[in-house]
Amino acid sequence: MDKIYINQMTFYGYHGVLPEENKLGQRFIVDLELLLDLKAAGDHDRLEDTINYAEAYELTKEIVEGPKYQLIESVAERLASHLLDHFPKLKECRVKLIKPDPPIPGHYQSVAVEIIRSRA
Residues shown for the chain: 120
Active-site residue (options: 23, 39, 68, 99):
99
Q: How many CA atoms lie within 13 A of 96 on its CB side?
A: 15
Q: Which amino acid would we find at residue 106? A: G
Give catalytic status of residue 61 as yes or no: no
> Is the distance from CB of 5 to CB of 33 less than 8 angstroms?
yes
Q: Is 116 left (phi over 0), alpha (psi -120 to 50) or beta?
A: beta
- Residues annotated as catalytic are 99
